[in-house]
Structure 1
Amino acid sequence: MAAGQLFSRTTQALFYNYKQLPIQRMLDFDFLCGRETPSVAGIINPGSEGFQKLFFGQEEIAIPVHADIEAACAAHPTADVFINFASFRSAAASSMAALKQPTIRVVAIIAEGVPESDTKQLIAYARANNKVVIGPATVGGIQAGAFKIGDTAGTIDNIIHCKLYRPGSVGFVSKSVCSYSYSCLCQFHLSHIKDRFWVNSLKDHFHKWSMGASSIFILRCI
């Protein structure tokens, strides 16, 4: 990947706390973008092991399920994104455990209500170790035509309508992203879209995007 680029068409993630719909939406997006490999390499469901059947296009696939973060990272060393769907009670601890894994580069925390003191610890650790945290309290993020986190951009119909399955040249950061935002931005060949950031600052993301070749201009919406 280019310097400053968070995601690409080969990015794979580990999904913490099994949720069928967000994972299936990620796989549908992958297929629509023409990816060769699914973006979800493995699922972490504490206390459970085995496989979970989902669809990649018309093909049914079996995604490995692991009982803990360490085992999942060891089994999937190329998966460098950690998508955390844990509740606010355990989101900080599981996110910190993921950040401490050498293979994990980006952590996305979906939960709202993570204590501020825990968030500050995540900030300090991520910055000291050159890692990226999206959230807490985020819908996620998307790189058009390449990779998306969980429920970002909604249904497959909305993704098609907004043309998010193709690469673009606009970086967009917002505290609250709605379907209308995607619809408007698709007219400008959207490249990246991110929802609310707490741990990494707006300046951090502007700097990363400015280093890449895909973002011609960057928008901020408050």
Structure 2
Amino acid sequence: MIILDENTKCVVQGITGKQGSFHTQSMLDYGTNIVAGTSPGKGGQDFQGVPVYNSIEEIREEMEVNASIIFIPAAFAKDAAFEALSQLETVVVITEHIPIHDTLEIVAYARKNNKILIGPNTPGIITPGVGKLGIMPGHIFNPGDVGIVSRSGTLTYEVASQITQAGMGQSTCLGIGGDPVVGLDYSDVLQRFQDDPGTRAMVMIGEIGGNAEEKAADFIARNIDKPVVAYIAGVTAPPGKRMGHAGAIIEGESGTALSKKTALENAGVEVADRPSQISEIIKKLL
């Protein structure tokens, strides 16, 4: 497992909002160690037994916390992210539609201060059997030794479900986020899986647009010796049209599914043509 383990003590920022309360309940039901929440002006209340504070600073005066998950509307997400990153080690930003100049500032601050930033516009992270900081459906995951890193939440669920149904399981699954600029990238997560003794193989799920997958291919060729299986979504996507995620747009010759698939195959990665092939390829490689 990586990042999210038994020692993770999490704060939910925006715990009393519609999204925050719904997903906090789901995370609690999964067994996640959520110790507090924030909702400015509602300090002193509680949600399902989780105490609510006005700020992270107030929480830290009373208890130890080291991670945050953010369900704050896009207009206020930058302030929430800076509040968390200035005081905690790990921050997961679920919020989508954050202005890109805000995201650039958030990501730059996280990297400068060596903090773990997942997202924005991410389904989050799950370590099966331990906890989840995110919005993924917990029942499809199973503890195991396959690490998954993805730009797509829905494809993460699809691939994880098929790995589970094939009698295997996942060490940790992490969505890096679908925006053009994100915190942790593929290489950051792949290196953590490489260093994790509980991960024997990795699945990398990519999509058209940008050059993140090509950069990951170069990183894999130089740094990763565990088996990596990949899938690239968007084979039939027309150039110049955004497909779902803000980052999923082909411009010029780069960013196509073919260019990404070629780069990965040249790095020794087996690339599946369909998500349904991934679990069989993993079985063959292990």
How would you bin the TM-score normalised by the shorter chain? 0.7 to 0.9
Offset, 1:133 = 0.6
Post-superposition Cα deviations, 1:126-149, rounded to whole Å, max 9, x if no partner, equal 112211111111111101111201
Contact 1:42-1:66 within 8 A present in 2 as well: yes
1:18-167 → structure 2 map (5 Å cutoff): 18=15, 19-30=20-31, 39-54=33-48, 62-77=49-64, 79-101=65-87, 104-152=88-136, 154=137, 159-160=138-139, 162=140, 164=141, 166-167=142-143
CA contact under 8 A between 1:171 and 1:192: conserved in structure 2?
yes
SS at match of 2:114: coil
Match of 1:195 in 2: 175
Of 155, 167, 174 in structure 1, the residue corresponding to residue 150 of structure 2 is: 174
SS in 2 for 1:203: helix
Q: Note closer, same or farther for the CA distance 1:97–1:53 as it changes in structure 2 (3 Å cut).
A: closer
Partners in 1 of 2:8 and 2:183 — Cα distance? 21
What letter corresponds to residue 9 of structure 2 in structure 1? Answer: Q
> How far apart are the structure 1 equivalents of 2:118 and 2:47?
28
- The one-letter amino acid of 2:171's match is S
1:75 Cα offset (Å): 2.3
Q: Does 1:185 align with 2:163?
A: yes
The residue type equivalent to 1:207 in the other structure is Q
Give, in angstroms, the shift of residue 196 of structure 1.
Answer: 3.2
Residue 27 of structure 1 aligns with an amino acid whose one-letter code is L
Is residue 6 from structure 1 mapped to residue 3 from structure 2 by the alignment? Answer: yes
Q: How far apart are 1:209 and its partner, in Å?
A: 1.7
* TM-score, structure 1 as length reference: 0.81
Contact 2:122–2:153 at 8 Å: present in 1 too? no
Q: Flag the structure with higher helix content.
A: 2
- Post-superposition offset of 1:210: 1.3
Question: Any idea what the Cα deviations from partners look like across 1:96-121, whole Å, max 9, x if unmatched?
Answer: 111111xx111111111112222122
TM-score between both structures, scaled by the size of structure 2: 0.64
Unpaired runs of 5+ residues, structure 1, are 31-37, 55-61
Equivalent runs, 1:202-217 vs 2, <5 Å: 202-217=186-201
Say whether the 8 Å CA contact 1:47–1:68 is kept in structure 2.
no
More relative contact order in 1 or in 2 (CA 8 Å, sep 6+)?
A: 1
RMSD, matched Cα: 1.7
SS in 1 for 2:75: coil
Contact 1:17–1:43 under 8 Å retained in 2: yes
**SS class of match (1:148):** strand
Secondary structure (helix, strand or coil) at the match of 2:52 reads strand
Distance 1:106 1:29 in 2: 19
Structure 2 portions without partners, runs of 5+:
207-286
Asked if the contact 2:176–2:185 (Cα under 8 Å) also holds between the matched residues in 1, the reply is: no
State the identity %: 26
| Structure 1 CA distance for aligned equivalents of residues 183 and 134 of structure 2 | 19
Q: Distance in 2 between matches of 1:29 and 1:85?
A: 18
**Contact persistence 2:38–2:56 (CA under 8 A):** yes
1:93 CA drift (Å): 1.3
- 1:25 touches 1:150 (CA, 8 Å); kept in 2? no
Deviation at 1:213, TM superposition (A): 1.0
